[in-house]
Structure 1
Amino acid sequence: MIQTIALDIGETLVRDDRYWASWADWLGIPRHTLSALVGAVVAQGRDNADAVRLLRPGIDVSAEYAAREAAGRGEHLDDTDLYDDVRPALAELQRLGVRVVIAGNQTVRAGELLRGLDLPADVIATSGDWGCAKPDAEFFERVLAAAGGAAPQDVLYVGDHPANDTLAASAAGLRTAHLRRGPWGHLWADTSQVRDTADWVIDSLRDLIDVVNES
């Protein structure tokens, strides 16, 4: 029985449009150029920040991030960045008695912004908060700790990226749902690596209601 549902953040709850558009504007390059490069490097199994490094060889991404924040052009999140199904689906899961955990590879600042949105969630944390990131096993140990004592087989991790989400969570003993959303969710939804490791492939967070009721 599913007692806890943990959800990835980028392109699961939050659209990444604003994040990459703001980086492109900061670097003074066309938004489509950076967006396309992000897609290319992630499809190659590389870190998405490599797209910035391709455009500005030698750039210190962390230092540039700090410079953006200092200039008042850093990360920003509000309700317009959320997918439409986020609030109603999470609220219904909580109504059903499911513990809702939000946990993904994001910065400390992103965690602060997410907690400021008053989302229907019991725990909101990021890799920046925890000091470990997916797909490392330590990240999913932290997810299990946030699950409030639920056994791994009673925790469902939801995300759009096979390597970071379904494969890694499955290896940690969690149940998994691949969300067909965003570029990675669509790119890999019908691949063998998703079919072999995801317990469910869903098109909306609302589908999680049926998953819980049937589990």
Structure 2
Amino acid sequence: MIRAVAFDVGETLISDDRGWGAWADWLGVSRHTLSALVGAVVAQGRDNADALRLLCPEIDIEAERAAMERAGRGEYLDDSDLYPDVRPALAALRESGLRVVVAGNQTRRAGELLRSLDLPVDAVATSGEWGVAKPAPEFFIRTVELAGAEAGEVVYVGDHPQNDVRPARAAGLRTAHLRRGPLGHLWADGADAQAADWRIGGLAELVDVLRLD
């Protein structure tokens, strides 16, 4: 029986457009250039932050992020960053009696911003707050604890087959691969995505399949 649903953040709940656009503007390159580099490094199986290192090989990402904050150009989220199906789906899942949590690879500041959106969820946590990030097994141990259920009673929902589906399955969680954003589409037909318990094109589909499960 499914008792809880845990959600990734980037390209699952929110669009990453604002974040990458802010980096492009800060580094003085076109948004298209940085977007293309992000796609290229991810397709090679590299960390998406390597796109920033291609532009600035000596970059200290945390130092630059702090400088952006001091300049008033730091991380920011509002409702316009949410995909349209997010609030209705989260609310419907909660109303059905499931515990709904958010756990993704984001900074501490992103955790604060997500909580300020007052989403219909029971808890929000980020890798920056936990000190451990996906795909590390410890991240999913913490996610199960946040969900307050046994691993096999928790569904982890994300767009990234290698960071979301594969390690969540290895940790004993059920999984839903979301065909959303560049990575969700790029690897939608790969073995990791196909191994998910559910493959969905939107969060409304998730609500429907969990009602039938």
TM normalised by structure 1 equals 0.98
Distance 1:26 1:110 in 2: 18
* Alignment partner of 1:13 is 2:13: yes
1:17 partner letter: D
C-alpha deviation, 1:190, in angstroms = 1.2
2:100 alignment counterpart: 100
C-alpha deviation, 1:67, in angstroms = 0.4
2:184 alignment counterpart: 185
C-alpha deviation, 1:10, in angstroms = 0.1
1:142 alignment counterpart: 142
Distance 2:159 2:169 in 1: 14
1:208 partner letter: L
1:210 alignment counterpart: 208
* Alignment partner of 1:160 is 2:159: yes
Structure 1 vs Structure 2 CA RMSD:
0.7
C-alpha deviation, 1:27, in angstroms = 0.5
Aligned length: 213
Distance 1:152 1:110 in 2: 25
Distance 2:210 2:52 in 1: 40
1:201 alignment counterpart: 199
* Structure 1 residues 1-215: aligned runs within 5 Å: 1-148=1-148, 150-195=149-194, 197-215=195-213
Q: For 2:139, what is the secondary structure of its paired residue?
A: helix
C-alpha deviation, 1:193, in angstroms = 2.4
For residues 85-124 of structure 1, the C-alpha deviation after alignment (integer angstroms, 9 at most, x for no partner) is 0000000000000100100000000000000000000010
For residues 141-162 of structure 1, the C-alpha deviation after alignment (integer angstroms, 9 at most, x for no partner) is 00010111x1111100000001
2:115 partner letter: R
Distance 2:27 2:50 in 1: 14
1:112 partner letter: E
Distance 2:161 2:77 in 1: 25
Gaps of 5+ in 2: none
Gaps of 5+ in 1: none
Q: For 2:203, what is the secondary structure of its paired residue?
A: coil
Distance 2:112 2:147 in 1: 20
1:154 partner letter: E
1:202 partner letter: I
Q: Which stretch shifts more, 174-183 or 186-195? A: 186-195
For residues 42-97 of structure 1, the C-alpha deviation after alignment (integer angstroms, 9 at most, x for no partner) is 11111111101100111111111110011110101000000000000000000000
2:182 partner letter: P
C-alpha deviation, 1:207, in angstroms = 1.0
Distance 1:146 1:60 in 2: 31
Q: For 1:6, what is the secondary structure of its paired residue?
A: strand
Distance 1:71 1:113 in 2: 18
Q: Which stretch shifts more, 81-90 or 51-60? A: 51-60
Distance 1:3 1:214 in 2: 14
C-alpha deviation, 1:192, in angstroms = 2.1
Q: Which stretch shifts more, 39-48 or 16-25? A: 39-48
